[in-house]
Structure 1
Amino acid sequence: MPPPTLRNKLTSIKGVRLAGSPSTWNIDIHYPPDSPRGIIQSVTPHNDTTPGDDSIPAPLVLPALTHPHIHLDKAFVHSARQYAHLLPSTGSFQEALSFTTEAKQQFTVPDVLQRGEWLLAESISNGVTAMRAFVEVDHTVKHVCLEAATRLQNQWKDACEIQIVCFAQDPIFSTQYGEENMDLMQKALEEYPQIDVIGTTPYVETTIEAAKRNIDWAVDCALQLDKHLDFHLDYNLDSGKEALVWYVLHSLEQRGWTSSATTKRVMLGHCTRHTLFTDDEWCRISRIIHENDLPVSFVGLPTSDLYMAASPEQKVPHDRPRGTLRIPEMIRKHDLDAVMGVNNVGNAFTPWGPPDPLFLACLGVGIYQAGTQDDARLLYECVSTRARAAIGLSSSPSSIDLKKGQSPDLLLFHHRDLTGCGVARPCGTVAEVVWDPPATVNRNVVIGGRLKSSGFSCSQSESIYHFSGE
């Protein structure tokens, strides 16, 4: 499958709506010499008096979407025929681990390439132009997933910026395979310069001591190699288990990993155990991070967390708590950097949900009871600008207002009739986009100033685009 076709460079997009503005605007795009990617040169009021069809609302333009945490190698296992015998039967976490381990024994480079292309094609069509992609390295798959990921990273580089995570899903300091897994991780880091991030899963180690060794090794290695760091952490709802977040923060502090010392960042994913923390404990986390200038972000993964993170104590048959990080509260109340990610799609860990970050933002409205227009804006930021900054790809973590100098990675929402009834409901605000995400056919993606061909164009929406050479 070839990457998507990108059309000629856009010089301007005219007569569009922006976040929080009822009027229409023009976006002019400039291209530095010898650069395939443009920058926004100006955002100015649209004063065109040319007669037009006023019944067609102007499309809304927002920053493109981001996957801050997604597993490329395990995507759509349930859609590949060779894994049909591994569909969930109990839906438990242990079953997901077992079935995934069995599936990994069949992974080949062509197989991972095919399923990775499915993920990329659908994600980009939804509006994703950057992702942090986890690929596992261990005694089962060795470097198969990593090899496929580096090929995809190169082949799809014009359409999506792919950060590769060299990921130790399995133990590296315990079990009979720990030493082999560690050797494979170290060789991968030596042989694949395309790796951007080191990732581990401390909680899979057999002892708390081994889990802490896992953390220290990952911190040391990432600092030494100047890589980002990403932990799957505290994925349980068991108040009797020690939360490892305190040790992670201690390890970072002891080793001097600060925002002023490096541009590399640390991400903590899942962290469902933290939903059991008191307000004082959250205040303590915030204080440690800010007082020590730690570049730490949290990513909530609600589709997986709600499906998998069950409490070990079920006193009443119908009492089955679920847990996922309360992202808006972490941002607003505790001044923490927090975002949302898709995590898994189409496998035993998460058999439901599409690779569409807007689906997550919409889900967040219900999970967090976040139904105001300000909430919608924040939720969009958490799958867009905040997510991009959290993985180290931009320095402006919050604003979805388009400004001069920004990269023209954009998502436009049109109003094409999908009903066959000759009517199209307008969707002109951030809240409308988050509350009821428009179908992919009503989304146009601009990547670095170039419009992705969607196959769903129509003359009414095409008139806003102006290309070089016209």
Structure 2
Amino acid sequence: MPPQLTPRVQTIQGVRLGISTDPESTWKITIGYPHSTQGGVISSITPTNDTTPSSNSYPLALPSLVHPHIHLDKAYIHNTPAYSDLLPITGSFREALSSTTRAKAQFTKPDLLKRGEWLLAESVAAGVTAMRAFVEVDHTVQHTCLEAGLALKEKWKDICEIQLVCFAQDPIFSTEFGDENRRLVEEAIRAYGPGQVGVLGTTPYVETSTEAAKKNIEWAVELAMEMDRHLDFHLDYNLSPLEEQPEPLVWYVLRILRERGWTSRATKKRVMLGHCTRLSLFKDEDWTRLAKEIHGHDLPISFVGLPTSDIYMAAVPSDSATKTNPRGTLPVPDLIDKYGLDAVLGVNNVGNAFTPWGLADPLSLACLGVGIYQAGTVNDAELLYECVSTRARAAIGLSSASSELDPGVCLKCGYPADITLLYDVDDTGCFGDGESESRSRKTVAEVVWDPPSKAKRAVVYRGRVKMAALSTDCSSGFRFVE
């Protein structure tokens, strides 16, 4: 069940904003409600002189977390007894495809709702207030996953904005089921409006030939444009040497977007390219060419790196004599800082054959990025936080003020009142004597380098607070609308 929420918050008194140059200053956040049906927005952020001593005073208030790419229907398969015979044996990509197909044959709506709520509960507890969630449509599950996703979207709407992706994981232009899969996806995307199903997603690399993969791309671009939806490709999920044919499909995606006239000026809908592990083999001249094509043709493209899955699944141990075991994931910080591309980080899968490890916590992903990208500076940490927060929200094109503003790690006036609060609550049991205090995190970098437990986090969505947060005696700073 979704968590209970407080009445509307008017002010949050005495918070830090994670400013690395001034971590001790405190602020008051005022929330307004200009449109009664759309929730609260931040109307002012003013300095305070709050000096009330308390172990949990002065929480760190940051923009809320976002899942820009997560699979709602495949979460926690490994935690469900009905699928106990489908645990990994080889850990290969082909095995993951096969075992997930077998699992999908057993999906029921009650099962999908249960596992989906597990994912939502874990995500919201971490501070997630928005997500792009994939639900599969094909000859095996028909529209069952989509129907469950719609039910969860409605049920959890007061605490998390769920942007559903009608997703073709299986081939739609090859194999004996391709035509049926394509028909089911088309039926689904036409049956529901953009407010219900906002994104079309496909997986060109599962097709049995390059020709079929290109048809997949052409079809997806044309259908998304016709139906005015965002588009999301799982793309180039391999580590084949660049000199081998075929060339990365990203070049064909760019070509078709150009030919069909999909530009930032023509539409507000965006295109997301996920995984793209083969692009991790690009040299500087390849990235420079890619950036030039995207910027020169005004293509509204974002990349999402999925390192938890990519470093596990993008390549399997080699059988060669050298036992080489390459791994690859998109170099997200470089894409942003060096090439001016838009890139974010996503969790992707939790608890299934594609990703049997990891958490549904975007902060843990940002932390992982420090090591993967050797991104150890304060600026690096702040960028990684953006990639699972404000930058991620803008990349998926959610219709709110925050998607129109520049990314950043500080709250800003005009943003929806979606806030993750991080408290100095002692969860070690070692600092209750009043003579010593537990370690606090006063900056974004400290949070990314060493994410606090969920017990130290509170989530505000559209100006209302998750009630469970107040049970930890963290309610003194809230003032509610009377």
> Quick one: which amino acid aligns to residue 227 of structure 2?
L
How far did 1:313 drift? Answer: 5.7
Pick aligned residue for 2:37 from 3, 15, 35: 35
How far did 1:33 drift? Answer: 4.5
Q: Distance in 1 between matches of 2:99 and 2:345?
A: 26
Give the equivalent residue in structure 2 for 1:387: 392
Give the equivalent residue in structure 2 for 1:411: 420
**Residue pairs, 1:145-156, within 5 angstroms:** 145-156=145-156
Alignment CA distance shift 1:319-1:397 (3 Å): farther
- TM-score when scaled to structure 2? 0.94
| 1:454 counterpart = 2:460 | no
The superposition leaves residues 304-359 of structure 1 with CA deviations (integer Å, 9 ceiling, x where unpaired) of 00000116866554531100000000100000000000000000000000100001
> Quick one: which amino acid aligns to residue 8 of structure 2?
K
Give the equivalent residue in structure 1 for 2:434: none
Q: Is the 8 A contact 1:342 1:357 kept in 2?
A: yes
| Local SS of the residue matching 2:198 | strand
| 1:348 counterpart = 2:362 | no
Give the equivalent residue in structure 1 for 2:303: 298
| 1:370 counterpart = 2:371 | no
CA RMSD of aligned residues (A): 1.4
Give the equivalent residue in structure 2 for 1:223: 225
| Local SS of the residue matching 2:408 | coil
Give the equivalent residue in structure 2 for 1:94: 94
Q: Is the 8 A contact 2:304 2:343 kept in 1?
A: yes
> Quick one: which amino acid aligns to residue 102 of structure 1?
R
- TM-score when scaled to structure 1? 0.97
Q: Distance in 2 between matches of 1:293 and 1:172?
A: 29
| 1:245 counterpart = 2:250 | yes
Q: Is the 8 A contact 2:318 2:324 kept in 1?
A: no
| 1:192 counterpart = 2:192 | yes
**Percent of matched pairs sharing the same residue:** 61
Q: Distance in 2 between matches of 1:228 and 1:36?
A: 22
Alignment CA distance shift 1:411-1:94 (3 Å): same
Q: Distance in 1 between matches of 2:46 and 2:80?
A: 48
> Quick one: which amino acid aligns to residue 115 of structure 1?
R
Give the equivalent residue in structure 1 for 2:476: 463
| Local SS of the residue matching 1:404 | coil
| Local SS of the residue matching 2:420 | strand
| Local SS of the residue matching 1:293 | coil
| Local SS of the residue matching 1:162 | strand
| Local SS of the residue matching 2:468 | coil
Q: Is the 8 A contact 1:138 1:168 kept in 2?
A: yes
Q: Distance in 1 between matches of 2:176 and 2:254?
A: 29
The superposition leaves residues 37-77 of structure 1 with CA deviations (integer Å, 9 ceiling, x where unpaired) of 1111110011246xx21665521110000000000000000
Q: Distance in 2 between matches of 1:136 and 1:395?
A: 29
| 1:7 counterpart = 2:6 | yes
> Quick one: which amino acid aligns to residue 425 of structure 1?
R
Q: Distance in 2 between matches of 1:256 and 1:41?
A: 38
Pick aligned residue for 1:441 from 429, 452, 455: 455
How far did 1:458 drift? Answer: 3.3
The superposition leaves residues 188-223 of structure 1 with CA deviations (integer Å, 9 ceiling, x where unpaired) of 112222211000000111110110000000000000
| Local SS of the residue matching 2:8 | strand
- Which ranges of 4 or more aligned residues in structure 1 deviate by more than 4 Å? 54-57, 311-318
The superposition leaves residues 365-403 of structure 1 with CA deviations (integer Å, 9 ceiling, x where unpaired) of 000000110000000000000000000021224222222
Aligned residues: 465
> Quick one: which amino acid aligns to residue 391 of structure 2?
R
Q: Distance in 2 between matches of 1:14 and 1:356?
A: 27
Alignment CA distance shift 1:188-1:55 (3 Å): closer
Q: Is the 8 A contact 1:125 1:454 kept in 2?
A: no
Q: Distance in 1 between matches of 2:132 and 2:381?
A: 23
Q: Is the 8 A contact 2:125 2:459 kept in 1?
A: yes
Where structure 2 has 5 or more consecutive residues not aligned to the other structure, the ranges are 432-436
Alignment CA distance shift 1:450-1:56 (3 Å): closer
Q: Distance in 2 between matches of 1:166 and 1:53?
A: 50
The superposition leaves residues 124-143 of structure 1 with CA deviations (integer Å, 9 ceiling, x where unpaired) of 11000000000011111110
**Residue pairs, 1:52-67, within 5 angstroms:** 52-53=52-53, 58-67=58-67
Alignment CA distance shift 1:148-1:390 (3 Å): same
| Local SS of the residue matching 2:122 | helix
| Local SS of the residue matching 2:6 | strand
Q: Distance in 1 between matches of 2:82 and 2:386?
A: 38
Give the equivalent residue in structure 2 for 1:118: 118
> Quick one: which amino acid aligns to residue 334 of structure 2?
E
Where structure 1 has 5 or more consecutive residues not aligned to the other structure, the ranges are none
Give the equivalent residue in structure 2 for 1:359: 364
> Quick one: which amino acid aligns to residue 328 of structure 2?
G
